[in-house]
């Protein structure tokens, strides 16, 4: 049976179609059971995220299995299969293993190095296990995929470079303050990007959070969402004196934080640094603020430069990760090939051992006067002959299986030695 993966992703399918195909966990349980129950895929895992829908399976005919799986999926989602079929890709055996490893390690993601996909793959695998649709082949594949993804994370720096503006701002703040635990944050304006930056800061331990906005109700709503405190707009300068990090995104046509206001604030801070993340266009923080002692300011262009540099770093680390995955694919296929031929090797050895034991008994029956030494010599001679005869076919079976051509040799050995029909 062949190992395969079939599906579509952000690389070849529009978001509108991916949204239509996305399926929640309750329906996913029903789907994987239905697919396996059709009798074509004894093993199946379905991965459904916002950026990909993929079916991993084991089947005699991957093309037939793919058609069946997506026919069931489209039926569940009320979609015409004819609009999906032309977009589907299929990877078999070595390519399927490579794809699974790359997906788990986030090398096939829209944002290379993002951490969410590994958790999503683990959830899909766990759901399939709970539905009892995972057998030895997929269990081995996904277990190794998780191990490879962990190695990519620990042995490369693919995930250690911020590639979003909001997270890049947080990384800069961490460098300035040597950690963000208990650092107070002020949001000036309630834009989406500033909210996202604030959430990243809170995740890194920053607290408390204050929100100042010209519309008081909006300040209250956002402060509540961040477990923070709303600050009246006319108390903005006072708030600047009490916090460590200021995130601005107001949409105002002129700066709302002036150099003079910051100069007044810094007199009472006694050397405590003040860090501005200005992600507004036009800018909210007046240029020249960062000429003041202990004041740091980064605007959207600064942050985009950081993101661009980090994307290039990720690309370099991705090359290292790809090389690691290639080595692991080779190792996995060798192990998988060995697993496939082991039952045949065991049967072959048992068959020849049965013949050897029978012939030794008949020979010794004709030599009733044989000494213990002679009997031992006959046993050793016959065992050595069997081992030598087994060496060539066993070696050939392993080599052909690792090269992807093991099936014909397995069938030949079963036929030649009357080992019976393989399961």
Which residues are the active-site residues?
Answer: 50
Query: Please, where are the H alpha helices in 232-371?
Result: 236-240, 259-267, 300-365
Interatomic CA distance for residues 295 and 273, integer angstroms: 6
How far, CA to CA in Å, does 245 sit from each of 1, 72, 90, 212, 349?
58, 52, 49, 13, 72
CA 334 and chain centroid, separation: 23
Q: What is the DSSP string of 133-194?
A: ---HHHHHHHHHHHHHHHHHHHHS-TTSS--SHHHHHHHHHHHHHT--TT--EEEES--HHH
Structure tokens at 419: 């080992």
Residue 256 · residue 228 · CB < 8 Å: no
* 404: three-class secondary structure by DSSP: coil
Residue 211 · residue 219 · CB < 8 Å: yes
Closest CA to 413 of 338, 351, 339: 351
How far, CA to CA in Å, does 361 sit from each of 242, 348, 374?
95, 20, 13
* 44: three-class secondary structure by DSSP: strand
Interatomic CA distance for residues 125 and 32, integer angstroms: 11
Interatomic CA distance for residues 14 and 388, integer angstroms: 59
Beta bridge partners of 46: 55
Phi, psi of 268, rounded to the nearest 5 degrees: -95, 5
Structure tokens at 108: 């096939």
The continuous run of DSSP H or E covering 212 comes out as: strand 209-212
The continuous run of DSSP H or E covering 53 comes out as: strand 52-59
Write the burial class of residue 95 (CB in 10 Å: 0-12 exposed, 13-18 middle, 19+ buried): middle
Residue 285 · residue 257 · CB < 8 Å: yes
């Amino acid at each position: 049976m062949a190992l395969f993966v079939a599906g579509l992703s952000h690389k070849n399918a529009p978001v509108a179609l991916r949204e239509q195909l996305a399926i929640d966990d309750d329906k996913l349980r029903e789907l994987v059971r239905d697919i396996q129950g059709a009798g074509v895929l004894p093993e199946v895992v379905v991965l459904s995220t916002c950026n990909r829908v993929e079916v991993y399976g084991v089947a005699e005919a991957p093309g037939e299995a793919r058609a069946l799986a997506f026919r069931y999926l489209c039926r569940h989602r009320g979609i015409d299969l004819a609009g999906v079929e032309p977009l589907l890709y299929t990877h078999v055996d070595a390519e399927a293993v490579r794809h699974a490893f790359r997906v788990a390690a986030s090398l096939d993601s829209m944002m290379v190095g993002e951490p969410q996909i590994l958790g999503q793959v683990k959830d899909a695998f766990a759901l399939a296990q709970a539905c009892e649709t995972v057998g030895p082949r997929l269990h081995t594949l996904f277990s190794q995929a998780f191990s490879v993804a962990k190695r990519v994370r620990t042995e490369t720096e693919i995930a250690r470079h911020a590639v979003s503006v909001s997270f890049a701002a947080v990384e800069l703040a961490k460098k300035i303050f040597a950690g963000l635990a208990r650092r107070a944050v002020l949001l000036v304006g309630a834009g989406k990007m500033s909210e996202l930056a604030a959430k990243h800061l809170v995740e890194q331990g920053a607290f408390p959070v204050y929100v100042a906005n010209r519309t008081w109700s909006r300040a209250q709503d956002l402060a509540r969402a961040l477990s923070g405190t709303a600050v009246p707009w006319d108390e903005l300068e006072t708030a600047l004196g009490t916090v460590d990090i200021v995130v601005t995104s107001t949409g105002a046509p002129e700066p709302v934080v002036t150099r003079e206001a910051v100069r007044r604030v810094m007199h009472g801070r006694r050397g405590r640094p003040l860090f501005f993340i200005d992600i507004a266009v036009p800018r909210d923080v007046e240029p020249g603020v960062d000429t003041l002692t202990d004041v740091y300011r980064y605007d959207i262009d600064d942050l985009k430069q950081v993101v661009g540099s980090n994307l290039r770093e990720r690309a370099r680390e991705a090359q290292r990760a790809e090389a690691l995955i290639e080595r692991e694919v080779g190792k996995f296929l060798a192990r998988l090939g060995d697993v496939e031929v082991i039952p045949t090797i065991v049967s072959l050895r048992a068959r020849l051992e049965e013949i050897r034991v029978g012939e030794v008994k008949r020979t010794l029956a004709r030599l009733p006067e044989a000494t213990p030494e002679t009997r031992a010599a006959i046993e050793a001679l016959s065992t050595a002959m069997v081992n030598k005869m087994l060496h060539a076919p066993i070696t050939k079976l392993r080599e052909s299986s690792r090269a992807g051509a093991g099936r014909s040799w397995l069938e030949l050995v079963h036929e030649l030695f009357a080992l019976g029909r393989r399961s």
